[in-house]
Structure 1
Amino acid sequence: MAVENKEERTLKRLEEAMRCPQCQKQFQDPRYLSCGHSFCRKCIGEFVVMKSVSCIKCEKSSHVPHGDTNNLIKNLALAGLVDSCKNPYSEPSIKCSGCRVYESREAVDYCYTCQKAICSLCTQSHFNFRHKVVPITDYEMESMNVRDKMTQSLVNRTAIKKTALEQRKELVSTQMKRVEASASNLIEDVRRTFNEHVKHLQEERDAILEETREREGFLLNKLQTVEDYVQKYSESLSKISSNLLINNKKRLRGGALSTYITLCQELEALLEDDIDLDIVKESSAYAESFTFHANEPTNMGMTERADPEEWKLRFDYVAPNRGAVRSMCATPDGKLAVGYSKNSGGLNFFSPYGKWEHLESMAGVLVRSVAFLPDGRCVILDTDNTLYIYSISMEKLSFEFETLDNTVGGTGQLCVDEQHAIFVAYKKAKKIQIFSPRGGAAQREITFDSIEPLDIRVSPSGAVVLVSWRKLKVLNLKGDAIGELTHNTCDELIVADVCRDNTVIVAYVSQRAGTAGMDLLTVRRYDSTTDFKLKETLFQDWPIEISAMPFYSIRELITGEICFCTKDRIYLFQKPAGTINDVGFGDYDICPTRP
């Protein structure tokens, strides 16, 4: 008896929950108000005044867009509960969309031509017009299969996106620390200098300190905005993907299935979006570009911009696996990956702060070339021209690629583009293979001549740049030559990289031209990959240690620093401060692709 009373009370509460507070009847098309309470759409329309309505339960005012209750959000969960309780022992049938004279009958077939569910009476007329008609159960099964595939794909991409977002959050946090450290050092220098003459220059000291704090607060607010947006973006992905997984276990029909597919499309659009991190990189460089100089007591000090034309060598380090450096590339999180082709191979990661991080042994893979896809996955070409792909956590993935071995293709080189395509150029075969990250045979091949490439790069505009010691050759995806830069000086070798702004940086190494056993390095920037007009000389005749084997490479990090390497050493040059706008970032849109 007690059990029955409990069940009766539960049913009574359920009936009360499904009753509209206004009309005291079962909900009909329930809609949300901004306060969270729900009412029948018709009931809400009865007390709409000047495009707003006052909730009779909490008396809070809610806005009704354009005064039309159809624009209010529908309470799908409550509507489904009401429909289920009307006929708890059977699923709601799909009605015929073709009957016009008689009352709608239950649909038994689906017309793909008209995209309508139709009854048995309407089926014959659709057959007469040679429409494609299938049983409604077959259509529902096909829709379920499409839904399952779409859900699995979106769930996998969501997981990858969330991992990438975590890396971006880590980058934002790191850059915030750089800004704080730069501001803290500047404040300390100002205080130490001005304390000796505080009686004479109190006003000047206070003004400089205030200016520094304003800069720090301005930059930290910008970075905090990015961090908050990344957090909200990650939470939105988690919420939508969770809803997809929950509804994926239910059998959806009719309008509920359409709503589910719409939700999948919204998540698809959200996954296609990305976060522009230029503001993060520019903020830290902007903070570090301000320095403090102590002068005479009559003019003790002032904060000023560093010389915009002066590039400085930040770090000059011997590679941990000396003599085995074979490749390097910038990682999506602002680090430098250095690949080794000897002595057990593997990858070393080097941070822009001058620290060698962990070594990825990669089961002894001898690395000839390395690149990172935009989603953070690592692509490796070993010394046998075997292509591997690794996850963000550097776990080897089971994709196989049909590359050319050394006998057929000769030495291979690797790069990737922003569309996740993988390019492999072969020195002997004189061809470029383009692969999908999912492995298999090449999706496209491009042939070339008159160059033996030692490196390959792809510009943001889609041009392919082949690099040899004496020449840069630019091809389009059809294999047509669209640009060329030659350098015939006998004692100079060149290497190059294509930057994110579509400019090209070219390093000229004058071998044995220096003194005391040093080569000389000159780096120039060209403004495009077609006509190669000289834009600027970044630095000239910088002495570098002579390497036993002539191997060189140059890359630009996402934070703006330029890295140059030989077989033995890594050189990191500081980005000039003058590239940052002195007035700040007031007109800079953090996420210009978002509505």
Structure 2
Amino acid sequence: MATSFKQAVNKNLECPICLSFFKDPKNLTCSHTFCKGCLETLLETRGKLLCPTCREETLVPGGDVGRLQPNITVRSLVEDVETQCYSNGNQEDKSLQRNGNKCQKHPKNDEDFFCRNCNKYVCSMCGLLEHAIKDAHTILEAGAHDPDQKNHVEELAAKADAKIYDVDKFVTSVVNQRKTVHNVQEQLNDEIDATFAKSVQVLKERKTVLKNEVKHGLLGKLETSLGDMEESGRKQIDQIKKVLDLVRSGLNFPLLTEALTSHKANCQQLEDLLSRIGLNEELPRRIAKEGEVCFRSQGSDGLQLGQLSHLESKWVLRTECQLPVNNNMSGMVISPNNEMAVGCQKGGIFIYSVEGIIQDTVLKSVQIVALDFMPDGGYVIRDSNNRISMYTEHCEKLDVTLETMVDSGNVSSGLTVGNDGLIFIGYSAWRKIQVFKPEGGKAIREIKCNGYEPRQIVAMTSSQAILVKSYWNMVQVINDVSGAIIHSISKDGENAYPAVYQDNSVIIAWVRHGQSLLSIVQYTKELKYIKNILTDFKIIRPIRAWYYLQAFKKGEIAFCTSHRFYIFHETWE
């Protein structure tokens, strides 16, 4: 209570202008009291003396503030308080004073206030006259600003710690899967050695061949791949810790004006790093699954020792379902939380689980031409008027405008969002792709599509490239800055619909619309053949030859026609 009383007394002995104890206090006509020096500055600045508290004008005899009536009572109280504080050696009050820079305009004053609008420290005179009164800026005491800055760093540090925990957990999973692959290698070597011991000398050659296949073949490549993933995860942890140390170390020193820019940059770098690092937790398990190899002994017959064989995978239909609105599918994407979103030209987005069970219907009044998701789960919608609208993950419309082109009513134009949040808008009629920041406004660049049309576009996950469905039977990988074609593939008589698959590979749905046959093939990011996933799967032919292909995060594949969808998954035999 004593401390609160002391603070109340001190507060009432502070000049409302300089926020320091009154120095030579003078009364105005309205009975408000201010320092003589503060009133002189006000008079010099404005040419007349208006009370900063009630705005009533006070006539100054001869223009000399010193001739105004002094407030003897306040001056005596200030002298008593200052004398008591000095005699008691009040270290607590001194600790509240900020050891800042001196103001260049008012050398006697410390920069012990902070302007939120200008993001810098100022003295009391500058804060009142230039920032608060003149520009209507928000002024805080420096002591009030510092806790906000510390709270921001603490929140950021908590995010970093959580991300480090997730990455470390991921790395542990990778290590375990790598050990599994390594154990398989060891077991295979033991079985090969046991069989070889019972065989004759001529089997040595075969033994060498088999061991080389274990070490340098599929299993060796898988172990190398998991090792690279482990190393990448550890490097990500080191990156986060390094930037986090810079952010935390910034709190060990007073955040003066010249240090704020550097500290803010470090905080932004950490936030960007945390949002950029994503973990595909299913990928290590799938890689290890490919390494489930067994050794089959052949005894001494034929002196072949044995052979390595691995499980064969097979893709099967998990779900087939008719869409609620017939012949109206306009787009299909997978959300950040691994749900399938199907857009409808007549209005609305249908949300399905990976099992094909409908979860929700949102934005029912919005006519969808194309759609995608922002990294935070928000929607990006291209409507029937070729306008781009953005919504939060809770379907609240954002006040963001993208200054797009008019695409002559062509609805077969693409839309995609990159991992960094950049929005790519394709225009078939103009043969261009515009690139926008999430904040909207004008396009930051235009990509010229020479020799192709951006009917469907998909941002690649780990390279500066875009996957483009050009003409009906053609897919291209283009540079997302120059628009140059990097790789291309086509098939006569088959419509092509591409998607990005795991590990940045590409899958393409080849559709023979007239025969109602679907084939899905996996390629490298350079569009080199890897394997067939489906061959000549019979679909129910829609009226309109317009399809979409997408992959769920754990590898399931969704194929959507204008009136129904199919979900396929991989099984092992």
Question: In the superposition, relative to structure 1, how do residues 422 and 309 fare at CA in structure 2: closer, same or farther (>3 Å)?
Answer: same
Q: 1:318 — aligned with what?
A: 322
Contact 1:526 1:534 in 2 (8 A): yes
| Cα offsets for 1:7-53 (capped at 9, x unmatched) | 89xxxxxxxxxxxxxxxxxxxxxxxxxxxxxxxxxxxxxxxxxxxxx
Question: Following the alignment from structure 1 to structure 2, what is the Cα–Cα distance between the partners of residues 356 and 554?
Answer: 18
The structure-2 alpha-carbon separation of the partners of 1:403 and 1:500, relative to structure 1 and needing over 3 Å to count, comes to: farther
What is the deviation of 1:322?
2.3
Give CA-to-partner distance per residue, 1:77-101, whole Å, 9 cap, x none.
xxxxx9961537x834436xxxxxx
**Partner residue of 1:503?**
505
1:472 aligned residue (472, 475, 484): 475
* Structure 2 residue aligned with 1:329: 333
2: CA distance, partners of 1:431 / 1:260: 41
Cα distance, 1:448 vs. partner? 1.5
Who is 1:356 aligned against?
358
Give CA deviations for 1:126-181 in whole Å, capped at 9, x if unaligned: xxxxxxxx987779989989998xx89x97xx89x98xx99xx9xx9xxxxxxxxx
Q: Is the 8 A contact 2:507 2:521 kept in 1?
A: yes
Identity %: 24
Secondary structure in structure 2 of the residue aligned to 1:109? coil
Name the residue aligned to 1:535: 530
The DSSP-based 3-state class of the residue aligned with 1:501 is helix
Q: Distance in 1 between matches of 2:412 and 2:542?
A: 21
Structure 2 unaligned segments of length 5 or more: list them. Answer: 7-88, 109-120, 132-136, 170-232, 234-239, 293-308
What SS does structure 2 have at the residue aligned with 1:85?
helix
Residue 546 of structure 1 and its aligned partner are, at CA, apart by: 0.7
- The TM-score, its normalising length taken from structure 2, stands at 0.54
Letter in 2 for 1:326: S
* 4+ residue runs over 6 A deviation: 3-8, 134-148, 256-263, 284-287
How far 1:541 moved relative to its partner?
0.8
Distance verdict in 2 for CA 1:7–1:563, change over 3 Å: same
Q: What is aligned with 1:512? A: 514
Question: Structure 1: which amino acid aligns with 2:321?
Answer: Y
Label 1:266 to 1:83 Cα distance change in 2 as closer, same or farther (>3 A): farther
Cα distance change, pair 83–109 in 1 and its aligned pair in 2 (3 A): farther
**3-state secondary structure, aligned to 2:414:** strand
Q: Distance in 2 between matches of 1:84 and 1:143?
A: 30
Q: CA, structure 1 residues 404+507, in 2 after alignment: closer, same or farther (shift >3 Å)?
A: same
CA distance in 1, matches of 2:325, 2:354: 19
Matches of 1:257 and 1:574 in 2, distance apart? 58
Taking a change above 3 Å as real, the CA distance of residues 432 and 542 of structure 1, as seen in their structure-2 partners, is same
Query: How many angstroms does 1:5 deviate by?
Result: 12
- C-alpha displacement of 1:479: 2.1
Residue of structure 1 aligned with 2:519, choices 522, 546, 560? 522
Provide the alpha-carbon RMSD of the alignment: 4.9
Q: Would you say the 8 A contact 2:415–2:425 is kept in 1?
A: yes
Residues 364 and 325 of structure 1: CA distance in aligned 2, closer, same or farther (over 3 Å): same
1:379 correspondence with 2:374: no
**Letter of the 1:313 counterpart:** L
Cα distance in 2 for partners of 1:5, 1:334 equals 57
What is the count of residue pairs matched by the alignment? Answer: 366
1:281, CA displacement in angstroms? 6.8
Judge conservation of contact 2:490–2:496 (CA < 8 Å) in 1.
Answer: no
Cα shift at 1:474: 2.7
Check the 8 A contact 1:415/1:457 in 2, yes or no: yes
Q: Name the CA shift for 1:455/1:548 in 2 (closer, same or farther; >3 Å).
A: same
Q: Is the 8 A contact 1:427 1:453 kept in 2?
A: yes
Kindly state the Cα deviation for residue 323 of structure 1 after the two structures are TM-superposed.
1.6
Distance 1:267 1:488, change over 3 A: same
Change (3 A) 1:435 1:4: closer
Asked if the contact 1:420–1:437 (Cα under 8 Å) also holds between the matched residues in 2, the reply is yes
Q: Could you say what secondary structure the match of 1:525 adopts? A: strand
Cα deviation digits, residues 342-380 of structure 1 (max 9, x gap): 2xx1101110123111100x2511111111122222111
Amino acid of the structure 1 residue aligned with 2:281: I
Q: Does structure 2 retain, via aligned residues, the 8 Å contact 1:553–1:566?
A: yes
Shift in Å at residue 573 of structure 1?
0.7
Matching of residues 269-284 of structure 1 within 5 Å: 269-272=269-272, 273-274=274-275, 276-279=278-281
Which residue is 1:109 aligned to?
Answer: 104
Deviation at 1:266, TM superposition (A): 6.0
What TM-score, normalized by structure 1, do the two folds share? Answer: 0.52
Match of 1:487 in 2: 491
Distance 1:255 1:372, change over 3 A: closer
Partner of 1:575: 570
Is the 2:369–2:382 Cα contact (8 Å) retained in structure 1?
yes
Are the equivalent residues in 2 in contact too, given 1:316–1:569 (CA < 8 A)?
A: yes
Shift of 1:449: 3.1
Distance 1:474 1:442, change over 3 A: same
Of the candidates 554, 568, 572, which is equivalent to residue 559 of structure 1?
Answer: 554
Secondary structure of 2:530's counterpart equals: strand
Indicate if the aligned counterparts of 1:409 and 1:429 stay in contact, CA closer than 8 A. Answer: no
Q: Which AA in structure 2 matches 1:521? A: L
Is residue 513–residue 545 contact of structure 2 (8 Å, CA) maintained in 1? no
Give the 3-state SS of the residue equivalent to 2:457 in structure 1. Answer: strand
* Residues 109 and 135 in structure 1, CA contact (< 8 A), matched pair in contact too: no
- Shift of the 493–408 alpha-carbon distance from structure 1 to 2, 3 Å rule, reads closer
Instruction: State how far apart, in whole Å, the 1-side matches of 2:90 and 2:412 are.
Output: 67
Aligned to 2:458: 457
Using a 3 Å threshold, how does the CA distance of structure 1 residues 285 and 337 change in structure 2: closer, same or farther? farther
Aligned to 1:549: 544
1:531-553 CA-to-partner distances (Å, cap 9, x unmatched) read: x2111111201111111111111
* Corresponding letter in the other structure for 1:87: K
Displacement after TM superposition at 1:327 (Å): 0.6
**Structure 1 residues 83, 550: CA separation in 2 closer, same or farther (over 3 Å shift)?**
farther
Residue 113 of structure 1 corresponds to which residue in structure 2?
none
Structure (1 or 2) with the larger CA radius of gyration: 2
Report SS of the residue matched to 2:525. Answer: coil
Asked if structure 1 preserves the Cα contact closer than 8 Å seen for 2:468 and 2:475, the reply is yes
Give, in whole Å, the separation in 2 of the partners of 1:5 and 1:465. 68
Distance across 1 between alignment mates of 2:378 and 2:562: 25
Task: State the shift of 1:280 in Å.
Answer: 5.1
Residue 282 of structure 1 contacts residue 559 of structure 1 at CA under 8 Å; is this kept in 2? no
Superposed, which structure 2 residues align to 1:116-515 within 5 Å?
Answer: 254-255=254-255, 267-272=267-272, 273-274=274-275, 276-279=278-281, 308-342=312-346, 345-360=347-362, 362=363, 364-407=365-408, 411-459=412-460, 460-467=462-469, 468-476=471-479, 477-489=481-493, 492-513=494-515
